[in-house]
Structure 1
Amino acid sequence: MKFLYSFLIFILFQITFAQEQAVFYFDNNKFELNKTEAAKLQKWISENTTSKILSITGSTDEVGTSGYNDTLSQKRVSHIFNQIKGKVNIRPDFKSISLGEKGATSKNKAENRKAIIHYLLEKDLDKENEVLGIKEQDKEVVIPDDAPLAEKVKLAKVGTKITLKNINYFQNTFATTPESQGALYDLLFVMQSNPDLKIEVQGHICCVDVDRRNLSLDRARQVKRFLVYNGIQEHRVKTKGFGVSQPLHPIPEATPEQAAENRRVEIEILSKK
């Protein structure tokens, strides 16, 4: 978490000699580039195949509600990301930063409807950690997505979030489906094998604007109930529901796969040895 905070502060408030920026502007209420800006992006891609992207920041003007602008901003970031994915190098801990109307720094509304690619040129890649202010002990550990849960927890630092795969619920309920048992018992085994491990189970839902029933929290609590029922001390497991406030993909989701990724359960490592 310390690294993430430092990284965001750097991206949002500092400019160094080694970090580059490319700015692309959007028409009013649009999240896809017009022909002129799209051609500009393709030109940038062709000229930066050996560069490395650090983050993409999206923003809007101040017209509209904050919620609408936050979603529009994230859609602009996603649009840019989808255009560059597989064509330009991207840091493994790439950050997608949606500022919404909070990124409106100009009196000219058109200048606030933008996405900014923050990147390093090939000649500056050897200064990457220095530019980002990352010390050796602060480096984020890259955890393989296909690693077993026990291995992920072993590699994780305090503050790391890990998605619990294959935990599913019956529609509009907090009751887990039978196929979730394997993932639940994996988590139980990890908790039993690491008696000093404390976690926060975090629930996320998809497909709606607001979690009016607090379903995300109820789903997190259901995971805790399973652990406590099977002997894990209650104080080792906290719960939190984020509703739809931290989607991996813009809402409404474009595909069922995006909805499934937004609808997830994560654990955050609170303490471990």
Structure 2
Amino acid sequence: MKYFIFFFLISAGLNAQMMTSVYFEHKSYELNPESKKKLDSLAQLKTSLKFKIFGNCDSSGTNEYNNKLSEDRANIVRHYLQNKISENIQLISVIGLGEAKQINDNSTDELSGKNRRVDVFIENAFAPGEKISRNALPNFLSTEISQMKVKDTFALPNVNFVGGRHVWLPKGQSEIVKLLKILKENPRLEIELQGHICCDYENFDGEDLDLKTFNLSFTRANAIKEFLVKNGIDSNRIIARGLGHLNPVAYPEETELDKTKNRRVEVVLIKK
């Protein structure tokens, strides 16, 4: 089964935590006009932020060649941003990962193209001793549809996942069945499933230990989507996205319960 994720720019309110990617032609580290436009938009951010830049390759070259090419891609992004960003933005790391962080199996040209990329992680640093405990979101399964607003985000209580996997814990099964029932009874509803991970704050996303891809937050959301589609919901009504570690429910993760809370999928109402 092939899994891939379209990376995107997202905003987390005042925290301004984001991630975006730019893509490259085969064996190239040249920025195209679309990539330059995307990087220009990043350079306009006014909040005090830290950028981490990671270069990636598909698997078509040798390890030595891919490591060098990924470094060249990361550095070309760094050089481009350095000439544009203001003093409030720090470039704190620039790393070439070679082919180490594949997000799919390279079985088609399109999938290979998603591995030929530079990821830019943009985030506020957590202050020493800072703790985050997010207020509970409304429960999608118990909120009246008439009370829901388009673009609002809802929780799926008890839908949490095994560490490093896109397999939900047993207590989540009955909740996902309830979600299926709501979608069947309300055929106009369209939703976005947003996956999250715990623990890994050096990378945007985690490794799916079953699939050996580095898009764990996406594969968690997509696992629920696949269950819903298999049970009769039109796939066009559901978007699956991975948000990595950008919106922790609990930080720092001091207990196993904190980690479990962050291994979750939330629901955004797209249409009703």
The alignment's TM-score, normalised by the length of structure 2, stands at 0.48
The alignment's TM-score, normalised by the length of structure 1, stands at 0.47
The higher radius of gyration belongs to: 1
More helix by percentage: 1
